[in-house]
Amino acid sequence: MTSTNTKSWPLVVNTRVLATPLALLCILFAVVVLFGYAAGMENLYRPIADGPATHPLTATTILLLGVGVLSAERANRITQTLFITALAFAFCLLAVNIFDIINHTQQANLLTPFYKVVDAEGAIGKSNKMGVNTSITLLFVAFSLVFQHIHFPTIAQLLSFLGIAVPTVSFTGYAYGLDNFYGQMSLISATLGFVLGAATLARNAHNNPIRSILSPYFGGKLARFQVLIGYAFPALIGYLMLKFVTSIDGLAVGLLIVIMSWFIILMVSISAMFQTAAEQRTQRLMRQLEQQAETDPLTQLPNRRRFVEFLTHELNRLNRHQRNDLCLLMLDIDHFKNVNDTAGHDVGDRVLVSLGALLRSSVRKVDLVARIGGEEFVVVLPDTNFNGAHRVATHLLDYVQRMEVPGWTDTHGGITTSIGIAVAHKQSSIESLLAEADSCLYQAKKNGRNRIEPQAELDRPTAPTT
């Protein structure tokens, strides 16, 4: 499973965005290759004179797979149909070509566009075939898209890696002049196969092991460095050996480079997965500890520490906008000591938990309800003036009186609470606001409990408050 959090990692987001332009690039160059056949421009499909050419069937299959990558994650019916159709045709072309390679037949000629051009070039000894390397590369990419579509991301990434590995062998052959390494795979075919494999990996970058390599944690950074060194260093060593050591076997060096590079990349990917998993577990534990440090263990409401942080933020915001639209309610359960003395602390705890749940469900999501003392709760009301705060407090008085707590209200009657209201001003501090709310709460208790008491300088509503 992939968490939403990992999908938002910057490198994961940026890599997934790359899938579409890479797929479009493959489609564009596939069309250019086919145009080269139509216009008789050989350099568009044969980049190296007398070297291998990109077969029309290869270009057609790459075009179809590029369309498959583009439509892979689109949810509507049209793109899903396009995805299935493109992949079905690509598999048909690959199956016929592989059948020809195995059985030495020429059935693919019937499906090959511009076959007369291909046949004419073959008659004069020019290499123009969809060879084993190309077929394997595109087959891996096609199966990668299938497994991605049916939600087997790890298998999909493995197939993409294998699809990319074959072109890298061809690149090694072209770099070191080793014909056996690229065979009938042209430089265009190798490049487009590599880019197509990279596009499928990019589309699936929010899953492991690519996700681990792209993680923002130390393990991901180390893995990216190791992948770069893991391919660059063996390639450099191989180049120097071939250039300065005359008696060495070029084929053996090429094989050594490819095997070493991909072994290192594979080991780095696996270690990155474990490293990232360990770092994510540590991050989760840290978040849990932070949450516990800001949460009241009994009611699961924010505690005084979280309340202070939240109120500090809101006071700063109030001062920036220079408005008086922040209010603080302070609530205290009336005669709570009587609950503990009469029914015991278990029932007293049940009352506190029930009141906390009631308060949390009775205010907006932007408001903060916190327990800051034994039976003392606060409600921070951002973007709320005195009249709005008074309405909230009136509703809370009513809700609390109707609250049911098994073990108490069924035998001893309802719970009541007293509420003090303080309105923040530009000069307000946490201490002054708390002191004002506490003073109002004390006055509410003094005046008979189960009532609301606003700041002294505010005009009090004439409507009854209890």
Query: Is 97 within a domain?
Result: yes
CA proximity to 331, closest of 391, 362, 373: 373
Query: Is 256 within a domain?
Result: no
Identity of the amino acid at 60: T
Same domain, 39 and 179: yes
Question: From the CB of residue 456, how many other CB atoms can be counted at a distance below 10 Å?
Answer: 10
Query: Is 262 within a domain?
Result: no
Same domain, 203 and 326: no
Same domain, 29 and 166: yes
- Where among 179, 207, 235 does a domain terminate? 207
Query: Is 215 within a domain?
Result: no
- Where among 175, 207, 239 does a domain terminate? 207
Q: Are 377 and 334 in contact (CB under 8 A)?
A: no
Same domain, 187 and 309: no
**C-alpha separations of 74 from 67, 142, 439 in Å:** 12, 17, 60
CATH of the domain at 422: 3.30.70.270
CA proximity to 169, closest of 141, 189, 199: 189
Same domain, 23 and 132: yes
Identity of the amino acid at 40: G
- Where among 163, 186, 207 does a domain terminate? 207
Would you state the structure tokens that stand for residue 275, as one six-digit string? 């490293």
Same domain, 8 and 143: yes
Query: Is 458 within a domain?
Result: no
pLDDT reported for residue 464: 38
Same domain, 46 and 151: yes
Query: Is 233 within a domain?
Result: no
Query: Is 64 within a domain?
Result: yes
User: pLDDT means per 10 residues in the chain (466 residues)?
Assistant: 62 90 96 95 92 94 95 81 94 94 91 92 90 93 94 90 87 80 89 95 84 75 71 67 57 63 67 68 75 84 92 88 82 92 91 94 94 92 92 94 90 92 88 92 92 68 40
Same domain, 444 and 320: yes
Same domain, 430 and 311: yes
pLDDT reported for residue 177: 77
Query: Is 229 within a domain?
Result: no
Same domain, 35 and 180: yes
Which domain does 380 fall in, by range? Answer: 304-453
pLDDT reported for residue 162: 87
The number of folded domains in the chain is 2
Same domain, 329 and 442: yes
